[in-house]
Structure 1
Amino acid sequence: MEPIVIVGGDAAGLSAASKFKREHPERDVVVFEKGEYVSYAACGMPYYIKGAVEEFDDLLQVPPEKLIEDRDIDLRRYHEVVAIDTDAHEVTVDGPDGEFSQPYDQLLIATGARAIEPPFEGMELDGVHTLHSLDSAKAVHDAVRDESPSAVAIVGGGYVGIEMAEAFDAHDVEVHLFEMLPHVLAPFGEMVAEHVEEHLREVGVELHLETAVDGFSGTDGRLDGILAGDERYDVDLALVGVGVAPNAELASEAGIDVGETGAIATDEYGRTSADDVFAAGDCAESRHVVTGAPDYVPLALTANRAGRAIGQTMAGDPTPVGDIAGTAAVKAFDLEAARTGTIDEDEAREAGFDPVSITIKSRSRAHYYPGAEPIHITMVGDRDSNRVLGAAMVGREGVAKRIDTVAAAVHTETTVGELEYFDLSYAPPFSPTWDPVLVAAKVLNGKLD
């Protein structure tokens, strides 16, 4: 029998490989990875640049030797799959010794995503960076350490932009953050964004909202400024973090369906339109648990969970990859921001709901216990079904994990009334008697009635 072949050696790919090998240790599993690094913590890269993660190797989760020797996975780094023939059940691989064909029994495409590089003038200048691979993280880390920049421009106010503002600030660098939209962290909603923006200004980040970047200027091939909003700002390092794009070209060129999001279309088991071919991770679509529509939210848990499920399906036990709610948290200096489900009322209406939203202010601990901090929550419910559709939160503590309670309610189609009566834990150092989530549900339920 031909081997299981996996394209991509990070979260989804290696989760699938490891799960399949546990179920069928006698079968061959070949993992092709075009780069040097496998099984790494991409989400930790800003904290490595900041200095909170001291060693580069700390970002490497499972050494290649362990994958090969302990898990008996045929891992081949520096091997790029350049074509897939779904009729012949084989892939074409470009390796150190040239091209060759590799037959497969079943195939998983886990090619991930790449940082979007806008067509800005000056993107090629030394000092202009993106951040998605470990190589890029090391390049930014070394530039901060070796070049001691005095001013940095960040383009994009999403996860990467906010986390990198904190990372650069830790090195006493003047930070300019440019966002073409009215607010940072657009998926988190206006309430969260405004609190984060206020805090960013308090800590000294120069925000340039509703400001489109035109390009970069340089001298002798080296960055010396950013051009934005009819102004020029002196900077000696720039990070472009405007999002990622799925690496779906390999699948598309093989005739495999790509969805409207630009990622590879899959069913509930991660199967693509081609027989015996699966896709997972940052290159693949998922189904949104609220809207029921295909969505593209590239996050670490989604990739790991889908990869493991596909490994089990390949092994003969069909296992759904699971729906997504877009649950996410981000650290913005001293603030925590989090979101789950559908919080945009227009999106909810498009999905057939009659959304109602409320915003409340509560506290992270009992009011009399030292250190209690405000928590602001926006929660959205459906007037017709009373179902919890989503929530967004912001505060200095107790936010990043509280969102998980709402995520659980979203996944189980819990009603707002039911959430109001969840038996959540209480102790003065951790929560008021009525947890902020319960307060939000209570207020929202009253409005839905």
Structure 2
Amino acid sequence: MADTFVVIGGDAAGMSAASKAKREQPDLEAIVFEKGEWVSYAACGMPYYVKGAVESLDDLVTVTAEEFRDERDVDLRTGHEVVDVDPEAETVTVDAGDETYEQPYDDLLVATGASAIEPPFDGLDLEGVFTIHNMDEADVIEEYVTERGLETAAIVGGGYVGIEMAEALSARGVAVHLYEMLPHVLQPFGDTVAEVVEEHLREQGIELHLETAVSGFGGDERIDSVRLEDESVPADIAIVGVGVAPNVDLAEAAGIELGSTGAIATDEYGRTNYENVYAAGDCAEARNVVTGDPDHVPLALTANRAGRAIGQTVTGSPTQIGEIAGTAIVKAFELGAARTGIVDEERAREAGFDPVSVTISAPTRAHYYPGGAELTVTLLADRETGAVLGGSVVGREGPKRIDSIAMALHAGMTATELQNADLAYAPPFSPVWDPVLTAAKVLSGKLE
């Protein structure tokens, strides 16, 4: 009898694991339980659907449920919620709507994802107040914007979701107020990036309310205002985007250990404290390449990569899930902002380093070639070892240059080694000294 690989959760990590396991071992029984109807979808594309840049919600689906079943031979069961895990008996209990049953497994992957945090705001249940973390929410928001003829929007939270939804609603002709309780938007990107993005947001007509706490929303059945400490501001719609929390209740109830971040603790192969139980994706920790400590950074590549590795491991080829650097990039109207590793000196000191940092601005193309723009690069290194710790970039062109810094982190390069990297040059694409090389050159000099 073939082994049974059970997966809880049908998005990036879960479907990557099931697909890879079936490719490696075709006679394996791979069963995926997904409580919703959407699988393998690009959550990062949802703001662009609301904006109108993506025509159909179906366009965000990478592989359909039917393709998983018919072409990849994965036993995908949508509308099936796992309500209990028994690691000792090696079974999961499944609520299929019209029946509840137990499913045995040989190996289990918990890929339950994360959920949008819902602060204890008054009026959170009013019509017109939304979070956006799944496809159904995106669909409802788009329909609400289309049908209501909205004038003003309140975005609560200045992270990825807040910035992207501010752009989306502005493009739909809605006046946007963005509320952030911290001094800056995009806090994980560092102050340099935040200040550039904030100036650009204001240029685009976004009303920023920094260091401003929201207490709730006003209205009878439907939102009509956002409530602050000492005033109310009119709002026809509110998007609450203050972060996500890993979905760990099921795992915790089963005795699967959580880590210091609150997500599920795993080893380098994605294993939990049970030998044949794995965790991956937004519900699980991974090892930070800079600090060596467990970290929780819920991003798409991390989930896909870990799921794929676990799919190989359960079929007899142990494969590490890989380390993470927290590399991220976000579009803010005409700007791109990106970060990787440790981006500020305070965090570096907390991690035990003696940081040295530089910030430079340099052109993205040769000075005589049209179309270039200034790219601001911040780069950090450890004074004692010279090792690159992380960095950020922001500008109208070239934010994907963050990948060069991310590769330096994974390779354990020093600032001098990064300075000497042989990056490509041609006038339409870069000056002779790429902005990342320039930053590394200046940082190397500061370390001497």
Class of the TM-score when normalised by the shorter of the 2 chains: over 0.9
Q: In structure 2, what is the equivalent of residue 249 of structure 1?
A: 249
Aligned runs of 1:146-225 on 2, under 5 Å?
146-219=147-220, 221-225=221-225
Q: In structure 2, what is the equivalent of residue 128 of structure 1?
A: 129
- Asked whether the equivalents of residues 291 and 348 of structure 1 are also in contact (C-alpha less than 8 Å), the reply is no
The one-letter amino acid of 1:375's match is: L
- Please give the per-residue CA displacement for 1:34-91, whole angstroms capped at 9, x wherever unaligned: 0010011101000000000011110111111110011111000000000000000000
Q: CA RMSD in A?
A: 0.8
For structure 2, which runs of at least 5 residues remain unmatched after alignment? none
Counterpart CA distance in 1 for 2:57 and 2:256 is 37
**Shift of residue 343 of structure 1?**
1.4
Partner SS state of residue 368, structure 1: coil
- Please give the per-residue CA displacement for 1:258-304, whole angstroms capped at 9, x wherever unaligned: 11211100000000011200000000011100011111100000000
Counterpart CA distance in 2 for 1:253 and 1:363 is 54
Counterpart CA distance in 2 for 1:155 and 1:226 is 9
Partner SS state of residue 402, structure 1: helix
TM-score (norm 2): 0.99
The one-letter amino acid of 1:436's match is: P
Partner SS state of residue 353, structure 1: coil
Partner SS state of residue 302, structure 2: helix
Aligned length: 447
- Please give the per-residue CA displacement for 1:349-378, whole angstroms capped at 9, x wherever unaligned: 222211100100101111111122111111
For structure 1, which runs of at least 5 residues remain unmatched after alignment? none
Q: In structure 2, what is the equivalent of residue 57 of structure 1?
A: 58
Q: In structure 2, what is the equivalent of residue 35 of structure 1?
A: 36
Counterpart CA distance in 2 for 1:316 and 1:187 is 38
**Shift of residue 164 of structure 1?**
0.5
- Asked whether the equivalents of residues 110 and 279 of structure 1 are also in contact (C-alpha less than 8 Å), the reply is yes
- Asked whether the equivalents of residues 86 and 275 of structure 1 are also in contact (C-alpha less than 8 Å), the reply is no
Q: In structure 2, what is the equivalent of residue 145 of structure 1?
A: 146
Counterpart CA distance in 2 for 1:229 and 1:287 is 40
Aligned runs of 1:376-415 on 2, under 5 Å?
376-399=376-399, 401-415=400-414
Counterpart CA distance in 1 for 2:240 and 2:328 is 21
**2:442 is the alignment partner of 1:448:** no
- Please give the per-residue CA displacement for 1:221-272, whole angstroms capped at 9, x wherever unaligned: 1100001242211011000000000001110000110112111000000000
Q: In structure 2, what is the equivalent of residue 430 of structure 1?
A: 429
Deviates more, 1:22-31 or 1:347-356: 347-356
Partner SS state of residue 222, structure 1: coil
**2:83 is the alignment partner of 1:82:** yes
- Please give the per-residue CA displacement for 1:144-199, whole angstroms capped at 9, x wherever unaligned: 11112100000000000000010001011100000000000000000000000000
Q: In structure 1, what is the equivalent of residue 339 of structure 2?
A: 339
Counterpart CA distance in 1 for 2:238 and 2:197 is 22
Q: In structure 1, what is the equivalent of residue 22 of structure 2?
A: 21
**2:311 is the alignment partner of 1:311:** yes
**Shift of residue 347 of structure 1?**
2.1
- Please give the per-residue CA displacement for 1:383-420, whole angstroms capped at 9, x wherever unaligned: 11110110101000011x20000000011100100100
- Please give the per-residue CA displacement for 1:194-219, whole angstroms capped at 9, x wherever unaligned: 00000000010000000000000002
**2:262 is the alignment partner of 1:262:** yes
Counterpart CA distance in 2 for 1:19 and 1:372 is 42
Deviates more, 1:380-389 or 1:338-347: 338-347
Q: In structure 2, what is the equivalent of residue 355 of structure 1?
A: 355
Partner SS state of residue 329, structure 1: strand
Counterpart CA distance in 2 for 1:63 and 1:202 is 40
Q: In structure 1, what is the equivalent of residue 415 of structure 2?
A: 416
The one-letter amino acid of 1:409's match is: A
The one-letter amino acid of 1:70's match is: E
**Shift of residue 96 of structure 1?**
2.4
Counterpart CA distance in 1 for 2:242 and 2:10 is 25
Partner SS state of residue 260, structure 1: coil
Counterpart CA distance in 1 for 2:369 and 2:272 is 53
Counterpart CA distance in 2 for 1:352 and 1:187 is 18
**Shift of residue 430 of structure 1?**
1.0
Counterpart CA distance in 2 for 1:27 and 1:259 is 31
Partner SS state of residue 36, structure 1: coil
**Shift of residue 344 of structure 1?**
2.2
Partner SS state of residue 282, structure 1: helix
Counterpart CA distance in 2 for 1:261 and 1:89 is 26
Counterpart CA distance in 2 for 1:135 and 1:413 is 42
Counterpart CA distance in 1 for 2:242 and 2:328 is 17
Q: In structure 2, what is the equivalent of residue 230 of structure 1?
A: 230
Please list every run of at least 4 consecutive aligned residues from structure 1 whose deviation after the TM superposition is greater than 2 angstroms: none
TM-score (norm 1): 0.99
